[in-house]
A and B are shown apart, each in its own frame.
Chain A
Amino acid sequence: MNDPAVVVDQLWEGFRRRGRYGWRRRGEPHWALRDVTLSVGRGRSLGVVGANGSGKTTLLQVLAGVLRPTRGQVDVRGRTASLVDLSAGFHRDLTGHENVLVGGVLLGLTRAEIRARYDEVVDFSGLPADALDAPLSAYSAGMGLRLGFALVVHTDPEVLLVDEVLAVGDDSFRARALGRVDELRRGGTALVLVSHDLDLVRARCDDVAVLERGSLAHVGRPDEAVAYYRSRQAVTDDGAAERRVFDPSRRAAAARRRRGV
């Protein structure tokens, strides 16, 4: 617990705005994450909650190593496995079997390791054996996700990043998935779980971080953080309708500012 698996120090992640032809413009980027500092100890779990567009997925992508921190430091120690989108990196034309082999190598396993664990992965996913020879395009969203999750939790991750995927599986799979996550955590795996399911986050996480427009608004015990997030949601929902009203004069003013007039 004193030996963190994930350390994020003053992380800023910016996306360059694009001009008309898709070229990235100079100037201040859009900051998806602003000055985020947090850490997750071995065997601990951090829940991340926040509205759409608050930076949750970007945070996971930085932790996964797919995005480089624009500013600040990110230190993720050990093998990282992430399940960040529903497709799980699978190709829809390949069969479940082929996707597991390719996905396993991408996650850092050797082919021999995947072959050795293949039956275990399939068992865990609970998919019928003949489904593994069908292309992913024939799978339901839940089936593809179960296979993706089964693969990810069988790669011995030291850091496990999961984005909203437990919402798709049915109850029995969800129970099995959560059991496996607990098992991994007892073995020292750190978990970062992004979810809109506040009950799940509260029940499963040691700490919860609340993101608001890229900034860390609150980190703390699950009860407090979830209560905080709910209170903020009520506030921003009231303001949102007003803010989103289309106002041409504001747009024109913004355009003038950009031109420096």
Chain B
Amino acid sequence: MRLELLGTLVERQLRLRSKRSVFGVVWPLAAPLLLLALYLFVFTSVFTAPVDRYGVYLFAGLLPWTFLVQASHDALQSISFEPELVRRAPMPYHYLPLARVVVMAIPFLALLVAFVVYLAVVGDEHLRPVLLPMLAVPVASTLLVVATIAVLLALLDVFSRDLRYVLHNLLTVWFFLVPIVYDRRMVGPQLQAVTAVDPMRRVVEQYRDVLYDGRIASPVAHVVTLGACAALFLASLVLFRRLAVDLAKDV
């Protein structure tokens, strides 16, 4: 029954995205490809990135990252823009941001599959089919991190509108800290230490393990990250339950 509610909200969101929009459901596919083209141009034609096969390296990071950005922006107002739903009937309100995450996960996963197929077709020598099932671990971690952020953002936006003005900037800073466009070994150890606890950095590195390096140095690290992401998600749900009381008064 609860799953049915989430499924219905996902369907509702998909239908809403396709209203009065020719490519409402398809646009999210374009964003990472656009960024890929942009950074490839800057770092192969203008500057030269000291990273081999830069396109593959870049896209392995851009994929989960654009999913995070799109789902965050979409989830931010998922509760505060639905006062009718909130006042309608009691329901698990965190399903509203989670439905947005599910909807945004569709283009993410589709692009990931397309990326693997592309690597196979061009015969990328680092692509090792035996490792591909291991992608499930960073994918699961990504879903959990994004869901955590979506739930917290949606809740915060009910109480304060400030995030609407700064979310974009915060995500940009995070984007360059992760890092997506350069290799973290290109910066000093202090900055690396700061980002050591960043789950997105871990996740991006794990996609690169499988899709770029073709070897997983530490499978245990992948699983530990997954566990940490699951713990973060559970913590966000606990926090949501504690704070999302009488939301009908605030939306």
Contact = CB atoms under 8 A, between A and B. Distances in A.
B89 interface: yes
Please tell me the size bucket of the interface on B: 20 to 34
Given A15-B249, A61-B248, A87-B84, A66 B16 contact: no
B125 interface: no
Given A94-B15, A102-B12, A111-B4, A68 B160 contact: no
A136 B122 CA distance: 49
Interface string B72-103: 00000000000011111111000000000000
Interface of B: 1, 4-5, 8-9, 11-12, 15-16, 19-20, 84-91, 159-161, 245-246, 248-249
Interface of A is mostly: loop
A82 to B, nearest CB: 7
A66 B90 contact: yes
Given A89-B85, A94-B16, 14 more contacts: A65-B89, A65-B90, A67-B248, A68-B245, A85-B84, A88-B88, A89-B84, A89-B89, A93-B16, A98-B15, A103-B88, A106-B89, A110-B4, A135-B19
Nearest to B86: A66
A155 B6 CA distance: 19
Interface string A199-227: 00000000000000000000000000000
Interface in A7-49: 15-16, 21-23
A152 B88 CA distance: 11
A89 B88 contact: yes
A88 B89 CA distance: 10
A68 to B, nearest CB: 6
Interface residues of A, number: 33
Given A94-B15, A94-B16, A105 B245 contact: no
Dominant secondary structure of chain B at its interface with chain A: helix
B247 to A, nearest CB: 8
A235 to B, nearest CB: 31
Nearest to B248: A66
Contacts of A80: 89
Contact of A91 (B12, B89, B161, B248): B12
Contacts of A102: 8-9, 11-12
A106 B85 contact: yes
B159 A22 contact: yes
A67 B16 CA distance: 28
A15 B247 CA distance: 11
A184 B245 CA distance: 32
Interface string A222-242: 000000000000000000000
Contacts of B248: 61, 66-67
B91 to A, nearest CB: 6
